[in-house]
Structure 1
Amino acid sequence: MKIGLVARCLNTAHVRGMGKYVMELLRHSNADIDWHLFADDPRHPLQHPEGARLTPDIFEFRGDRFRLWEQLGLPLRARRLPLSLLHCTEGALPLWQPLPTVVTLHDTLAFEDRPDTAADRLYWDRIIPAALRRAAHVITISESSRRDILARWPELEPRLTVIHHGIDTTYFAPPTAPVPVALRQALDSAAYAVYVGGPMKRKRFDWALQVLAAQPDPRLKLVACGFGAAAREAARAALPHALQARVLFADFLSDAELLALYKGAAAVLYPTLYEGFGFPAIEAQAAGVPVLFSPLGSLAELVGPLTTLVPADDLGAWAAALHAAVTLGAEARAEKADQARAWARHFRWARSWERHQEVYRKAVGTRP
């Protein structure tokens, strides 16, 4: 089978979030799959795992401001190739589908938060819903996202499948890389919590700062992950004076470095208000670390032995939960860590790939 894959999320210096998903599909695919990877930015490399049978195809197409790369350039290029199907991995797909097309719709946030312009109304309210109705199959990543999708387009139900993500096997093994030297020196052996989420408003970095400020131990530090260089500087400049010595910003971390950071943490703060799928909720528990979050959206599906559920807007409950995690005895934490690792093993990329294959086989036989 030869599959065209939209891989713009790998056409970057650092692979994050959605890019992890596409990278793991390629890494776990069978030897009899040939991939043709479509991307659009010649300024950056196309990241991919070693050993996969693939052809990178980075091309530009005029009119990207009007999404013509996706709506015209991509189907034109795919039509000329000997592809069995096209998989659009980033939540959008072309209206014109000259070959069977599968789309991964991670969540419905883009439809809810779109700018209120004529062009965006046309694109998100008309073109993409019409394209979804033409798709051979729609994949989503949680039961929560499935409910949100069907609330908008109930007619998609026969062609909608939930396939959970997995997590990297790195998180089940001892760390193979240390915490970066500069970060380790800045921590200076202090107890710390980890915030994962970056600067997006719904991730609530400001809430994590309030939880830190409410701690009885003024020596406790917070390591913030997920910020790009410019966002780090802006967030650092905006820190309250009382927290400036207690909040550290991590540069981009590999999975091995993030695992090492998790392992040394007292807890992981994940105060996000919405996720299609929350990697940190599982990664932290696989690493044996307590994680605090609210059971909103898909996160309600990721409650494991080291989860502490906290009401989203109850600062006192968040502060108490973090203090409890910081003071949790080593023996009690170790016992829960064993249970959490066993629970986290259910989220395997190998299983996710098997489910994707099932969808591909069904889609290949459909008429475009």
Structure 2
Amino acid sequence: MTLRIGMVARTLNAPHLRGTGRYIQEVLRNSKAADGVHWTVFANNPALPLRVPADLAGETDVFGFRGDRFELWEQIGLPLHARRAGVQLLHCGENTVPLWQPMPTVVTIHDTVLWEEPRPTRLDYHYLHHVQGLAYRRCSAVITISESSRRDIARRWPFLADRLVVIPHGIADEFFQPATAPLPPALRAVLEDGQGRKPYLLYVGGPQPRKRFGWALDLLASADDSALHLVACGFGAAAAQAAVVPSSLVGRVHFAPFVSDAELVALYQGARVALYPTLYEGFGFPAVEAQAAGTPVLFSPVSSLADLVGPLTWAVPAQDPAAWQVALRDALSLQPTARAERVSAAQRWARSFAWRKTAQMHLDLYRRVLAGDRLN
């Protein structure tokens, strides 16, 4: 029997994909008609592209709905359209769900960061902390992406413990292959000259305080090699302009524009070392992506990252600058033979994070929910 699944995909209905959008896109891309699934993909902005796979096994429904301030698209428009489309199960993959659930509903809560950071308005706070708490009680299942996030969610909402299912993210095949694209033009202009490419570290994170861009700047400043540059990913144009770069590092720090997956692979593979000094992640894509691309990566084994320490990881205490400096020197001085051995081992390890496996685990969960099976 064909599964008729509704997928909420507002994060695909955007100029650029971020982590949650990539997750939804890969689940759709790695589940095919041969799996017995028919998708209806819901999004909310007809003025923007919807980045679904070209061979999507199903259709899209992009519609506006008045009442943005009160989240009425999600609370009324979405369940109405899902019911009209005849979906058997609705999957809300972006942390939040409607209270009205006319069919079995599954939500992916990626982590608890939204609930731990200050909210801009009282209405926003009420929606996340009160409305969503009630809505989660009605969900048939809750997917999360790591054991660390599962523990955090169960502490915040103990009533979800028997409905929580961990399905890890995957890594796209492109990260294991030789780069098929050059660096973005803006970076080629500053990193490449007639004498070749300048050596650079790659910071992957963005401007959020927990990502610790300042930590990466301090590490660059303390590096023995004054010729090293730093490329920073995850910043929009406004955030890049607002970032404070010490005068001593001006000309050595460069902000990447939004990049395609192919350009991101090129950035990883061209970097001497990737820096990922974040203090909390539900699932840390860069920790695995760097290793799949054959690039040493420095991070602290905190939250979900404790499960992502692989053969090309330098795991460093979060608050120990001296340890980070030593780890960077070690990673930069890795000899070619030793590096090749670790790259080979890291890529074998990283292949266990496969989007096809992730998609199959989603389809299995949908079937269990529809059959009324116990989840835990």
TM-score range, shorter chain: over 0.9
2:244 matched to 1:242?
no
Q: Does 1:314 align with 2:316?
A: no
Letter in 1 for 2:219: V
- Structure 1 residues 162-171 or 60-69, which shifts more? 60-69
Does residue 69 of the first structure (1) align with residue 73 of the second (2)?
A: yes
Could you tell me whether the CA contact under 8 Å between 1:136 and 1:366 is conserved in 2? no
Deviates more, 1:13-22 or 1:318-327: 318-327
Q: Identify the residue that residue 269 of structure 1 maps to in structure 2.
A: 275
Please state if 1:297 is matched with 2:303: yes
Letter of the structure 2 residue corresponding to residue 13 of structure 1: P
Report the alpha carbon displacement of residue 244 of structure 1 after superposing the two structures with TM.
0.7
Partner residue in 2 for 1:231? 239
Report what 1:120 is aligned to.
Answer: 124
Q: What are structure 2's unaligned runs of at least 5 residues?
A: none
| AA of the residue aligned to 2:73 | W
Tell me the secondary structure at the aligned position of residue 80 of structure 1. Answer: helix
Deviations 1:320-340 (A, max 9, x none): 211221121111111100000
Q: Deviations 1:40-75 (Å, cap 9, x if unpaired)?
A: 112211111111123221111111111111112211
Give 4+ residue runs of structure 1 displaced > 3 Å after superposition.
Answer: none
1:260-292 Cα distance to aligned partner (Å, 9 max, x none): 221121100001111110100000001111100
CA distance in 2, matches of 1:86, 1:315: 46
Residue type of the alignment partner of 1:253:
V
| 2:5 is the alignment partner of 1:3 | yes
Encode CA deviations 1:144-173: one digit per residue, 9 max, x unaligned. Answer: 000011112222222110000001000111
2:40/2:85 contact within 8 Å kept = no
Over 3 Å counting, the alpha-carbon distance change for 1:366 and 1:62 in structure 2 is farther
Which residue of structure 1 aligns with residue 14 of structure 2?
12
Match of 1:202 among 179, 189, 210: 210
- Counterpart CA distance in 2 for 1:67 and 1:75 is 12
1:192 aligns to 2:186 (yes or no): no
Letter in 1 for 2:8: V
Cα distance in 2 between the residues matched to 1:11 and 1:98: 24
- Do the aligned partners of 1:227 and 1:251 also contact (CA within 8 Å) in 2? yes
Shift in Å, 1:234: 2.1
Alignment of 1:360 onto 2:362: no
Matches within 5 A, 1:143-158: 143-158=147-162
- Aligned length in residues: 365
Contact 2:32-2:57 within 8 A present in 1 as well: no
Alignment of 1:47-126 (within 5 A): 47-115=51-119, 117-126=121-130
- Distance in 2 (CA, whole Å) between partners of 1:92 and 1:181 is 37
Identity fraction in percent: 56
Deviation at 1:114, TM superposition (A): 4.1
Q: Supply the RMSD in Å over aligned alpha carbons.
A: 1.5
TM-score, normalised by the number of residues in structure 2: 0.94
Aligned partner of residue 50 in structure 2, secondary structure: coil
CA distance in 2, matches of 1:224, 1:118: 33
